[in-house]
Every structure is written in C-alpha cells, then in structure tokens.
Amino acid sequence: MTILSFAALVASSGADSPGHFVAGVFLGSMLWWVILSHAASWLGHLVEIRATVLNRLSAVTLAAFGVWAICRHAWG
C-alpha cells in the first residue's frame, strides 16, 4: 500500500525524473527502520524482565481477551 501511495504521489506531482524522489523515500525508510531497530534493541537491553515471563504474560492476556470475546458473542 505504501509503494502504491508513493507511486501515485510521484505520478500526480508530474516529476520528470522521479529517481531522486524514489531514492529519498528509500533512504528515509531505511533510516527509519535502522533507528527503530536500534531503539528496540536498546530498550530490550534496558528492560530487565526475562523474555519468557513477558511472553507468558502476553499469552495469558491475549487468551483472556479471546475468552471474553467468545463469551460476549455467545451470550450477547
């Protein structure tokens, strides 16, 4: 969807040479993902909760929401 949006933006802008625009989008996206992955890695090392505890807590939370949704749907 993002690629189609940028393609529409380039086409509507009437750019004669969209290569610079495409390169800018690529470099901006790459920079964003590098920053995001480094921030996630840094925060992962910062938080001292073990991954298994967090995974189990997430699983229990999702299961509880699933049971709640089923009960809500079944008994209206």
Which one has a higher pLDDT value, 44 or 62?
A: 62
Cβ neighbours of residue 22 under 8 Å, at least 6 residues apart?
A: 6, 10
- Averaged pLDDT, 71-76: 83
**pLDDT tens sequence across 22-55:** 777 788 889 999 999 999 888 877 776 667 788 8
Q: With H, G, I as helix, E, B as strand and everything else as coil, classify residue 27.
A: helix
**pLDDT tens sequence across 4-27:** 887 777 777 776 666 777 777 788
Q: Tell me the two tokens of residue 39.
A: 């921030």
**CA 59 centroid distance within chain:** 20
67 — pLDDT class (breaks 50, 70, 90): very high
Q: Would you state the pLDDT for residue 16?
A: 67
CA distances from 59 to 4, 44, 49, 53 (A): 35, 19, 15, 10
Q: Would you state the pLDDT for residue 66?
A: 95
Q: What is the C-alpha to C-alpha distance for residues 24 and 75, in angstroms, rounded to an integer?
A: 53
